[in-house]
Amino acid sequence: LQTLRDLSDHSLIEGRPQKTPTQYIHEYDKDDFRKLTTLFLRVRYGNFEATPSTYDSVLQLQSSIIKKEESL
C-alpha cells in the first residue's frame, strides 16, 4: 500500500480501492513493480509463507521503485 500511495502521489497511477493488483501492473508496467506485486499475490492469495527473505525482497523492491520515481 505504501508503494501504491507513493506512485499515486507522483501521478504515476490512479489509486482506487476497487482496483486489483493486476490492474495496477497494466497501469505501471515496470519490472520491479511487477516483481513486488507477484510476491504480494503469492503470499496473499497463493498460500505462500511470508519469510524474512520474502520481506527483505519486498523492502528492496519497494526502495528501488521509490528511488527511481523520486529521481525523475
This prediction's pTM: 0.90
Residue 12 contacts residue 69 (beta carbons within 8 Å): yes
Structure confidence by residue, pLDDT tens digits, 10-50: 999 999 999 999 999 999 999 999 999 999 999 999 999 99
- 6 CA to centre of own chain: 10
pLDDT grade for 69, boundaries at 50, 70 and 90 = confident
**What pLDDT shows up at residue 7?**
94
